[in-house]
Amino acid sequence: MGNRDELLAAEQVTAENGAEPRRRDVTRVGLIVPSSNTTMETELPELFARQTAATGQRYTFHSARATLKSVTREELLAMVDKAADCAVAVSDADVDVIAYACLVAVMAQGPGAHTASEDVIARAASDNGHPAAVTSSAGALVRVLQGLGAGRVAMVAPYMKPLTAMVRDYVEGSGISVLDAASLEVEDNLAVGCLDPAQLPRIARELRREGAEAIVLSACVQMPSLPAVQEVEDELGVPVVTAATATTYEILRHLGHEPAIPGAGGLLDGRFSPVEAVR
């Protein structure tokens, strides 16, 4: 029993006011995801596992879910109404940072909406007694592109054409010209999560990308893309980012951790350093 007590004392810090214990050596990452999302909770842990292997920094993930089955404007706006409740739920885990991981739900509100969404989540967590840094996939994507100086991009999205056009308008509303936006026309969100990332290099090649300064290989947190990021970047010779890699980058920077993730593009292995990418 003595050894067990010593181990618990070494791993946990208990506040005198009765607050829950905190691990000294582990960072807690909170995610707010659509209920049908199957990708962010696989791609982000994989990326952070690579960060752990490179740096020794350790992370755990804690999610709250908001109902979303079909990627329609109506369901997306209904999900937005749940953001504050989800922030309260995930902040109960006393997380260090919260990522609002539904890019198109934010973008459906119009250009610049990520700022207000992040403020709502931060305020809800703080009012719940557990303040945390906050990012959103929508905000992370545009801030990373701006920080990279990518004034012209081409992108791939899984959405029906009207939603892809909305994402395009949102990105352009941030001062970034979208040269082309491929729309894969998948409405069911579970089906989006089953798309084959091995098809992305071909789709990226077919984009109208002359003059592009970056490629957005997945403008969606649900469309798998991680296995293709490095391949497409190596082939096309410009930075390749996704909703997941941009979100990962901002989480790391909010935590003060230098990105050291191999095999996921220059944004995360330290070759590209966006300027003032974190809000």
| Residues designated as active site | 102, 220
The answer on whether 128 is annotated among ligand-binding residues is no
Paired tokens of 269: 């292995």
Is 50:264 a contact under the CB 8 Å cutoff? yes
Paired tokens of 272: 């590209």
The answer on whether 221 is annotated among ligand-binding residues is yes
For β-strands 177-183 and 12-13, DSSP reports them as: unpaired
DSSP classification of residue 70: B
Give buried/exposed letters for 113-134 (b at 16+ CB in 10 A, else e). Answer: bbeebbebbbebbeebebebbb
* Runs of H (alpha helix) within the chain: 2-11, 40-55, 73-80, 83-91, 103-107, 113-127, 137-147, 161-172, 189-192, 200-206, 226-236, 243-255, 266-269
SS3 218: strand
Order of strands, edge to edge, in the sheet holding 214-218?
177-183, 152-157, 214-218, 240-242
Q: What are phi and psi of 162, to 5 degrees?
A: -60, -40
The answer on whether 159 is annotated among ligand-binding residues is yes
The position carrying tokens 């809000």 is: 279
> Which residues are part of a known binding site for substrate?
37, 102-104, 159, 189, 221-222
Binding-site positions? 37, 102-104, 159, 189, 221-222
